A and B are shown apart, each in its own frame.
Chain A
Amino acid sequence: MTDLSVTTTVQKKIVGQPAIYGLLLLVLIALPFVASSYAVHILSTMGIAVILALGLNLLMGYAGQVSLANAAFFGIGAYAVAILGNRYGVPFWLAVPVVAVLTAGLGFVVGLPALRVSSHYLALATLAFVWTVQVVLVDWVSVTGGSPGFSTSRSGLGIAYLQDDKSYYFVILAVTIAMVVLALRIIDSKIGRAFMAIRDNENAAEVMGVNLAKYKTMAFAVNAFYCAIAGGLQAGLVRFLDPYEFGLWPSIWHLLYIVVGGLGSVMGSVLGPLVLVALPELLRPFAEYRELIFAFVLLLTLIYMPQGMAGKLQEFWRRTVLRRQAAAGQLPAVEKSATLRNQARSATRLQSRHAPTAENEMVLEVEGLHLSFGGLKALQGASLSVKAGQIRALIGPNGAGKTTFLNSLSRVYVPDAGAMRFRGKPLLDLKAHDLVALGLVRTFQTIRLFGKMSLVENVLVGMHAHLREGFLGAALRLPHNVAQTRAAREKALALLAYVGLDQLADTNASSLAFGQQRRLELARALAADPVLLLLDEPASGLSKHEIEELLGILRTIRDQLGVSILLIEHNMNFVMGLADRISVLDHGVMIAEGTPQEIQGDLKVIEAYLGKERAVAKA
């Protein structure tokens, strides 16, 4: 766990090294002056491949959506720019951005099936697209030139002044760098975090207010945009476009770039293409064995290097740094138990943006909820309400319908009948991702964190509904966005301090211990700025000490932040010590309601838990 926190500091050390980048840039600029024109052509091809890999990695590595349509968008970009330029005289510099934006729109449409299906079905839907595009490119001879290909030239595209391959290489270099920067900016924005949240846990993302439909299709649009830019550049690089270079196999080739380079890594999107474009050139004498060699590279990468080259490289750096630190006797800082100490300080930063709740306001009102699964009647007219500033517990024996009740509130299930109002608004009119913006936030019984994102990023996803950042804002980093991001980060760190995890802010969530995961989930829920928190068995799996800590945290959340809480819980000591009011659910109906003392003495409750005999004995 502690060594992972080093990973990120190491990453920062590499990433934050302007000197290295300056040097790299100088080399890239100087190369064409010393390399042969053949080598310059290969370098240009590499640049285009990097853009393709970035586009695919944003979609697959970051947003977790499978696609085989990469080469189709690449082809559409290339053919559109070539046809517009060579045939209709549309200048290159106009055609490329226009085509890229239009192709992004097409990407949005192709992404629509992603809303209904996932994984290999999605692979197939995109496969269908790449296949269709290929057929169109081959068979629509009058427009595309058919299977012999489409001739294109730089003078035809209106960029005759770039006739020299060296000059065109500089264009590709500049665009590639711009696309790398754009990718980094997207990833470090509300959009990128939404992508990763969907990848790591779709349900949790939705509950945190991420509109799945919007961001999945956006990921496809971004992917198509990148591919079309690469296509536009390709139209200027080559003498003619071969329709067979935009089919299924090239798509798989692009997949290889990012698998070998590293899924979910910008560095990987650069490294993969560099190696895989260079390799076939080096293997020219063994052209016959090319595909065979690549298949072996792919297989061995999958088995022995699943994180790709970028992952291996990072691991190597981490080990080196650890070894050095060990030699120097400095061991990484260990987490301090810093729970309550920080709370008073951080609470001031956590002012709510919702209209304050009035005294005695009914935050949540549920009446007569019915829900059946086939023959099983899970809820049969369950009612419950939560007053502002109240901590209400919902208890009941196993199978009483507690989680179903909570899932109805968070719009996972649609109840058959009944009314649910949150601060007067009917919940049935809202979608799951809309709840957060209103201040209704839940956690899960089985913790659902975004495992491959850092703690800060996890908390930032919690703020998704409140941050205002679109694609252009993220790309251009306007002052408004910079200020917002800084404020959001500060708030996220304050929240982590609030639950005692600020020392681990940059570690991956998957490396946390169980009790820490619970606290992170709480911090993420708090980031969403709740009026009412729905907690699904927050104490399950925690040690006695951790439960006491949680009790303290939840009380201060209510006292300092004025958040109301509705929780489901089995641990009776915890419930009795925390709740103001308790509702008891059994067989889908509320059988009792009252203060902890009243519930402890209620015969119906005792009967529900322990059976009739014990209830009679107690009476």
Chain B
Amino acid sequence: MELIPQLIVSGIAAGALYALVAIGLVLIYKATEIVNFAQGESVTVGAYMGWLFVTEFHMPYFPAIAAVMAASALVGIVVERVAYRPLIHSPPFTVILATLAVGLIIKNAIRLVWQDTPRTINGALSATPLEFAGVLITPERLAIIVTVAVVVTALMLFFRFTKLGKAMRATAQSQEAASLMGISVSGIFSKTWALGSALGGIAGVLIAPLIGINTELGGVLIPGFVAAIVGGFTSIPGAIVGGIMVGVFENFAGVYVSSSFKRVVSFVILIAVLMIRPSGLFGKPVRKQV
């Protein structure tokens, strides 16, 4: 029975990462109605940059995260410039394919530069597990939960109190009204893509010590995606709840059902949500307009 709290805690840690990826997707979707398929690559870029800054340049862990955010933000800016802006009047599906193409280009560029040798970020945090009320947690997992909590809080404050945050919210609600109020909509788009990708980058640094670094890290896009949908795709709290749900369910499925099931559990959740509540747990049902 003591397994259960253990599974929940490590599930929350994994889920927090999914939530970060999901929030990045949600921010970009709210602003531009595009699902950024290159989000997985910002995670990969984040992980490699984390390795570069921490392991190679011996930067302290937390300042390194800031540097990583900047690098991943750049990925978002590039994707926005190359895939979104030239296709702004195309159907969303075309743009989504374009983000996928840019993601592939980034992934292959990384592969060509650093080859396929797996890497990891080590030595930043101690490996001895800590114990809280009988539940063991590694400092790495604890760091994930704490960092994500800090990032999400900062994000909420940013949207509530800063001028840029408010401008982003306004643009997400109505591009036309925002531009009439003197907000540069295209500038906001660019910054939103940067912010969304930066969040992916943080996920990359945090995930690296757990599963190592390789060019397939972008696969975390999929649970992140499911998390976003479960949360309604337009809600940050929804994305967090969705992420944690996926993380915890995965852990339980892996232990109590089978490891194959662990790999498809997020889809089971996805289908269940789509069937029962297509607008997601936190989304608002929309009356069909004609």
Contact = CB atoms under 8 A, between A and B. Distances in A.
Given A135-B263, A295-B104, A303-B87, A255 B97 contact: yes
Interface string A97-124: 0000000000000000100110111011
A295 B270 contact: no
B96 interface: yes
B55 to A, nearest CB: 25
Contacts of A288: 112
A121 B274 contact: yes
Interface string B41-83: 0000000000000000000000000000000000000000011
B104 A128 contact: no
Contacts of B93: 66, 119-120
Interface in B248-290: 260, 263-264, 267, 270-271, 274-275, 278, 287-288, 290
Interface in B231-261: 260
A113 B287 CA distance: 18
B85 to A, nearest CB: 10
Nearest to B106: A295
B172 interface: no
Given A120-B96, A255-B97, A299 B105 contact: yes
A139 B258 CA distance: 11
Contacts, number: 93
Contact of A128 (B98, B100, B267): B267
A125 interface: yes
B86 A292 contact: no
A48 B270 CA distance: 32
A306 B87 CA distance: 10
Contacts of A116: 274-275, 278
A132 B105 contact: no
B90 interface: yes
Contact of B90 (A255, A302, A407, A412): A302
Contacts of A252: 100
A302 B101 contact: yes
Interface string A255-294: 1000100000000000000000000000000001101101
A124 B270 contact: yes
A373 B286 CA distance: 12
B97 A259 contact: yes
A203 interface: yes
B94 A306 contact: yes
Contacts of B270: 124-125, 128
A13 B97 CA distance: 34
B189 interface: no
B110 to A, nearest CB: 11
B269 to A, nearest CB: 10
B30 to A, nearest CB: 14
Nearest to A412: B290
A373 B45 CA distance: 48
A252 B98 CA distance: 12
B97 A292 contact: no
B90 A203 contact: no
Interface in B12-50: 35
Contact of B101 (A132, A203, A298): A298
A309 interface: no
Nearest to A294: B104
B193 interface: no
B268 to A, nearest CB: 8
Contacts of B109: 292
A121 B264 CA distance: 17
B229 interface: yes
B51 to A, nearest CB: 22
Contacts of A306: 90, 94
B221 to A, nearest CB: 10
B135 interface: no
B264 A125 contact: no
A514 interface: no
Interface in A501-530: none
Interface string A230-253: 000000000000000000000010
B121 interface: no
B108 A135 contact: no
A21 interface: no
B102 interface: yes
A379 interface: no
Contacts of A294: 104
A296 interface: yes
A119 B264 contact: no
Interface in A287-327: 288-289, 291-292, 294-296, 298-299, 302-303, 306
A127 B221 CA distance: 12
Contacts of A121: 229, 274, 278
A131 interface: yes
Given A123-B96, A125-B274, A302-B97, 6 more contacts: A117-B278, A120-B35, A292-B108, A295-B108, A298-B104, A302-B87
Interface of B: 35, 82-83, 86-87, 90, 92-94, 96-98, 100-102, 104-105, 107-109, 112, 222, 225-226, 229, 260, 263-264, 267, 270-271, 274-275, 278, 287-288, 290
30 contacts: A66-B93, A116-B275, A119-B93, A120-B35, A120-B93, A120-B96, A121-B274, A124-B270, A125-B274, A127-B222, A127-B267, A128-B264, A128-B267, A128-B270, A129-B267, A131-B267, A135-B264, A203-B290, A259-B97, A291-B104, A291-B108, A292-B109, A295-B101, A295-B105, A298-B104, A299-B98, A299-B101, A303-B86, A306-B90, A306-B94
